[in-house]
Amino acid sequence: MKSIPVAIVTGGSRGIGKAVAHELASLGYRVQLVARSRANLEAAREEIAAAHHLDAEAAPDIYAADVSDVAAIRAVVGAVKERWGRIDLLFNGAGISIPGTFDLDPATFTRLFEVNLRAPFVFMQEVVPIMEAQGSGRIINVASRNGKVAVANLGGYSASKFGLVGLGESAFRDLSAKGISITTLCPGWVNTDMAAGEGASLAPEEMIQPEDVAATVRWLLSLRSPVRVMDVLLECAKDVERRGSVEIAKLYALRNRHPEEYDSLTL
Ligand SMILES: NC(=O)c1ccc[n+]([C@@H]2O[C@H](COP(=O)([O-])OP(=O)(O)OC[C@H]3O[C@@H](n4cnc5c(N)ncnc54)[C@H](OP(=O)(O)O)[C@@H]3O)[C@@H](O)[C@H]2O)c1
């Protein structure tokens, strides 16, 4: 009998992680949600169970844990392995965004690294041996467009996300031969609490929707096992358009030798 696949989704209580958890539940995964707020986890479990008509056993399991705590991550992975005996998919979605670069105090800089980079690293460290023993598995990490192109005043966040892109690229080369695929998602603005809290320059409907990220996950899972995708960059059309027009204006300012105008145009 074919076993039911098991997926750990960190950040599964809200935003991108919750949309991906819905998608995975619809694909028949046993979803294991990880976040700090138990109340939000319970609400997400109820919502997902109701939407996909899941009984108590098939409804998502929830793990209230702070992913900046290494021992807590090990306990979550151990509990999932103990309960279901396998882990087929790891979706590292939990993350925080704190603006700032040199104005960040070192403790805040460290916090960004603990949540956005060390947590996915430790989850992978714990899950990879289980996937290796199974001979299969998929890992999907959420970095950001800011993990590929850094913008001003986001140095701490960007550094953590560049780190995650680099970790993913290295692991991509290590894990392929072991039957494990790993993909890093690099979205621009996504319409979630995080974007709302940051005063995004785009209207909510102009952003990527969490369901678009979930659809990207569905696409990745639809690819046959010999296919590997290292990373996926998802952009908002309005952002691409705006940057494109600024780049053209900068070229004209250069050609017309107007350095003040060139300097005033920001990407
Ligand atoms: N929204 C965007 O514009 C955007 C763009 C590019 C990349 N991303 C990345 O996408 C991922 C998801 O972002 P989102 O927009 O969905 O954010 P969100 O709406 O703020 O949700 C964040 C999720 O992560 C959990 N989380 C945060 N800190 C945690 C911690 N220390 N331990 C455990 N869980 C924690 C939150 O639950 P609790 O608060 O209850 O812990 C929540 O479930 C993040 O990695 C983010 O950097 C977002």
Q: What is the pLDDT of residue 140?
A: 98
How do residues 197-225 score in pLDDT, each as one tens digit?
Answer: 887 889 999 999 999 999 999 999 999 98
Whole-number Å distance, alpha carbon 94 to ligand 1 midpoint, is: 4
- Give yes or no for residue 214 CB within 6 A of ligand 1: no
Q: Is 241 inside any structural domain?
A: yes
Who has greater pLDDT, 24 or 254? 24
Tell me: do 119 and 224 sit in the same domain: yes
Tell me: do 148 and 257 sit in the same domain: no
Q: Which atom of ligand 1 is nearest to the CA of 18?
A: 43
Q: Is 123 inside any structural domain?
A: yes
- Give yes or no for residue 213 CB within 6 A of ligand 1: no
Q: Is 253 exposed, middle or buried (0-12, 13-18, 19+ CB in 10 A)?
A: middle
211 Cβ contact partners less than 8 Å away, ≥ 6 residues apart: 19
Tell me: do 163 and 267 sit in the same domain: no
- Which domain, by its residues, includes 258? 237-267
Q: Is 131 inside any structural domain?
A: yes
Q: Is 167 inside any structural domain?
A: yes
Does the pLDDT value for residue 253 go beyond 90?
A: no
Q: Which atom of ligand 1 is nearest to the CA of 10?
A: 34
Tell me: do 255 and 181 sit in the same domain: no
Task: For residue 53, count other CB atoms closer than 10 A to its CB.
Answer: 8
Q: What is the mean pLDDT of residues 71-90?
A: 98
Tell me: do 262 and 163 sit in the same domain: no
Q: What is the pLDDT of residue 101?
A: 97
| In the block, residue with structure tokens 């279901």 | 84
* Pocket residue to mutate for ligand 1, from 90, 192, 207, most atoms within 8 A of Cβ: 192
Tell me: do 152 and 241 sit in the same domain: no
Tell me: do 139 and 87 sit in the same domain: yes
- Give yes or no for residue 201 CB within 6 A of ligand 1: no
Q: Is 212 inside any structural domain?
A: yes
Long-range pairs of 236-241 with CB within 8 A, sequence gap ≥ 24: 236/188, 236/189, 236/202, 236/206, 236/207, 236/208, 237/206, 238/202, 238/206, 239/188, 239/189, 239/201, 239/202
| In the block, residue with structure tokens 């690229």 | 169
Tell me: do 188 and 200 sit in the same domain: yes
User: 3-class secondary structure for 175-216?
Assistant: HHHHCEEEEEEEECCECCHHHHHCCCCCCHHHCECHHHHHHH
Q: What is the pLDDT of residue 182?
A: 98
Q: Which atom of ligand 1 is nearest to the CA of 17?
A: 16
Does the pLDDT value for residue 265 go beyond 90?
A: no
Please tell me the number of Cα atoms within 13 Å of 217 on its side-chain side.
30
Task: For residue 39, count other CB atoms closer than 10 A to its CB.
Answer: 9
Q: Is 90 inside any structural domain?
A: yes
Tell me: do 18 and 91 sit in the same domain: yes
Q: Which atom of ligand 1 is nearest to the CA of 145?
A: 6
Q: What is the pLDDT of residue 200?
A: 81
Task: Compute the distance between CA of residue 78 and CA of residue 145 in angstroms, rounded to an integer.
Answer: 32
Q: Is 107 inside any structural domain?
A: yes
Q: Is 102 exposed, middle or buried (0-12, 13-18, 19+ CB in 10 A)?
A: exposed
Q: What is the mean pLDDT of residues 121-132?
A: 98
How do residues 166-182 score in pLDDT, each as one tens digit?
Answer: 999 999 999 999 999 99
Task: Compute the distance between CA of residue 198 and CA of residue 182 in angstroms, rounded to an integer.
Answer: 29
List residues with catalytic annotation. 157
Does the pLDDT value for residue 255 go beyond 80?
A: no
Q: Is 1 inside any structural domain?
A: no
- Give yes or no for residue 14 CB within 6 A of ligand 1: yes
- Give yes or no for residue 147 CB within 6 A of ligand 1: no
- Kindly state the percentage of the chain with pLDDT values over 70: 98
Q: Which atom of ligand 1 is nearest to the CA of 36?
A: 41
* Among 238, 236, 258, residue whose Cα is nearest residue 249: 258
Whole-number Å distance, alpha carbon 97 to ligand 1 midpoint, is: 8
* Pocket residue to mutate for ligand 1, from 142, 206, 208, 231, most atoms within 8 A of Cβ: 142
Q: What is the pLDDT of residue 78?
A: 98
- Give yes or no for residue 15 CB within 6 A of ligand 1: yes
pLDDT band at 267 (very low <50, low <70, confident <90, very high): low
- CATH number of the domain that 210 lies in? 3.40.50.720
- Give yes or no for residue 42 CB within 6 A of ligand 1: no
| β-pair partners for 137 | 180
Tell me: do 213 and 253 sit in the same domain: no
Domain total of the chain? 2
Q: What is the pLDDT of residue 1?
A: 59
Whole-number Å distance, alpha carbon 51 to ligand 1 midpoint, is: 22
How high is the mean pLDDT of the chain? 94
How do residues 19-73 score in pLDDT, each as one tens digit?
Answer: 999 999 999 999 999 999 999 999 999 999 999 999 999 999 999 999 999 999 9
Tell me: do 162 and 41 sit in the same domain: yes
- Give yes or no for residue 67 CB within 6 A of ligand 1: yes
Tell me: do 164 and 266 sit in the same domain: no
CA separation (Å) from 174 to 87, 126, 242?
A: 19, 15, 38
